[in-house]
Structures are given as structure tokens and as C-alpha cells.
């Protein structure tokens, strides 16, 4: 867990990724995919003046099986929160107890996103490629588009270095060598700079939306 002033971030295991539906039910373990932006929780040992946090960001892109959360300090609301049980939003607006059971995700209605590798056809137009994504050559441009289960969603792409051994400054410097440009609201071009630092490195191309309702990723590698 990392903390800076009123902002706190930490990683959770994606319990569904490791256990699946049957494992979660068998071992009675919570599905951490149900953590959502705006959810409030108490992380404290002080039952008199407990610290309340609100989830401000949810990222499940890299590495696989891990969910990264960002929390910000929030105010205790005695009309809704139960200090004795250290539970937020225990009561609703009428003072009734809220049933503490999250709504299961319905696969048929879940918000999903997909990243597709694109190529330029003979007419100079981008179309989905039937080929697997190749190792990325230095200086060459590649194209990717995102599709969402809902219409009218704008994509937010990021390239992340898949290497935890480097410092934050080193990682950011290398990620900037992977030049990402927007073509339209859902399509980007990606070009590895001609740098000796890149060959053999592995990256993750992630896409999400502004509200954080979608997130998916694909693995990329720069050719040696």
C-alpha cells in the first residue's frame, strides 16, 4: 500500500481470475471485481473517529490477476455509516439497514471491451487483421482499435511496460519511447522509437473509458 496525503493506493488479487465462479462459491471468497468507483469503506482501528475512504480509480490491466485501487479520504456520515461495525453506507436515506450483498455480474449485460489489431488494406483503409500481432519492429507503425459493448464510448489507450524490476522513473522513460497517437475516438497508432532500450521488452496495451467502466488489454513485445 502506498499513501500520499489524502490519497492511498494498493493492489488486490483478482479473486475471480484465480478461482473462477466455482472457487469463489466453494471457499466463500468475495469477488474483488465488484469493487467499484465511488464505493466507500472504513480502513481504520479507531472506532471513535474512523478513517473513511472512497474508491476513486479501479485498474485491472496489468499484471493479469491484479486489481489496482486508488482511494481518497471521505467524510464520515453518521446517518448512513455504522461506526460500531465499521461499515459504510450501512443505512439508506430512510434509516433502514441496507442488505450487504453485492449484485452479481451478469455476463450477458456486463460492460466489456475488446482491442483489435488493424492493418491497412489495398484501398488504404484500416480493417481488422486476420494475422496474429507480430513482434513490434523499431520505427514501424501499428494500428489498434477498441470496441465496446455499449455505443458512444470513447477509448483511452495506454502503453505500460510489463517489468516491475525498474524504478518508476525508468519505467516512465521507456514507456515514452512507445509513441501512441490517436487516429479517432477508438483507434490509435503505436510506433516503437528507434531506441536500443526497446528490443526484447514486453508491454501491455490497455484500453479503458473515462469513467472506468471498461478495461481490457493485450500483450505486446518489441522485436530483438
In tens digits, what is the pLDDT along the chain, a chain of 224 residues?
A: 444 455 677 788 888 878 888 878 877 788 888 888 888 999 888 888 899 998 888 887 656 788 888 888 899 998 888 888 888 888 887 767 765 544 554 555 567 889 999 999 988 999 999 899 999 999 999 999 999 888 888 999 999 999 888 888 898 999 999 999 999 999 999 999 999 999 999 999 999 887 777 888 999 999 99
Number of separate domains in the chain? 2
User: Is 168 in a helix, a strand, or coil?
Assistant: helix
3-state class of 45 per DSSP? coil
| 135 and 100 assigned to the same domain | no
Q: How far is CA 131 from the centre of its chain?
A: 27
State residue 184's pLDDT score.
Answer: 92
**Buried b / exposed e along 147-186 (16+ C-beta atoms within 10 A):** bbeeeebebbbbbbbbeeeeeeeebeebeebbeeeeeeeb
- Amino acid 34: pLDDT: 85
**Minimal CA–CA distance to 76: which of 43, 124, 108?**
43
Do residues 99 and 132 both lie within one domain?
A: no
5, 49 Cβ separation under 8 angstroms: no
Give pTM, 2 decimals. 0.54
* Of residues 89, 87, 91, 33, the one with CA closest to residue 60: 33
Phi-psi region at 89: left, alpha or beta (left = phi > 0; alpha = psi -120 to 50): left
What is the residue range of 182's domain?
Answer: 113-221
Residues 99 and 129 reside in one and the same domain: no
| pLDDT at position 108 | 53
Residues 128 and 183 in one domain: yes
Domain co-membership, 86 together with 122 = no
Last residue of one domain, picked from the residues 47, 76, 107 = 107
Amino acid at each position: 500500500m502506498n499513501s500520499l496525503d489524502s490519497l492511498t493506493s494498493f493492489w488486490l488479487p483478482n479473486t475471480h481470475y484465480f478461482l473462477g465462479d466455482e472457487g469463489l462459491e466453494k471457499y466463500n471468497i468475495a469477488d474483488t471485481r465488484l469493487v467499484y468507483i465511488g464505493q466507500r469503506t472504513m480502513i481504520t482501528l479507531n472506532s471513535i473517529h474512523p478513517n473513511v475512504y472512497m474508491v476513486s480509480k479501479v485498474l485491472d490491466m496489468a499484471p493479469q490477476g491484479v486489481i489496482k485501487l486508488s482511494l481518497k479520504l471521505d467524510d464520515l456520515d453518521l446517518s448512513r455509516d455504522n461506526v460500531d461495525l465499521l461499515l459504510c453506507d450501512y443505512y439508506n436515506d430512510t434509516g433502514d439497514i441496507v442488505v450487504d450483498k453485492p449484485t452479481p455480474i451478469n455476463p450477458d449485460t456486463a460492460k466489456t471491451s475488446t482491442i483489435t489489431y488493424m492493418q491497412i488494406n489495398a484501398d488504404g483503409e484500416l480493417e481488422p487483421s486476420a494475422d496474429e500481432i507480430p513482434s513490434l519492429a523499431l520505427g514501424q507503425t501499428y494500428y489498434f482499435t477498441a470496441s465496446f459493448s455499449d455505443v458512444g464510448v470513447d477509448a483511452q489507450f495506454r502503453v505500460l511496460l510489463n517489468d516491475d524490476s525498474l524504478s518508476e522513473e525508468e519505467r516512465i522513460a521507456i514507456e515514452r519511447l512507445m509513441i501512441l497517437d490517436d487516429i479517432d475516438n477508438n483507434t490509435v497508432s503505436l510506433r516503437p522509437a528507434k531506441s536500443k532500450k526497446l528490443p526484447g521488452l514486453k508491454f501491455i496495451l490497455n484500453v479503458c473509458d473515462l469513467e472506468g467502466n471498461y478495461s481490457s488489454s493485450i500483450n505486446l513485445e518489441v522485436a530483438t
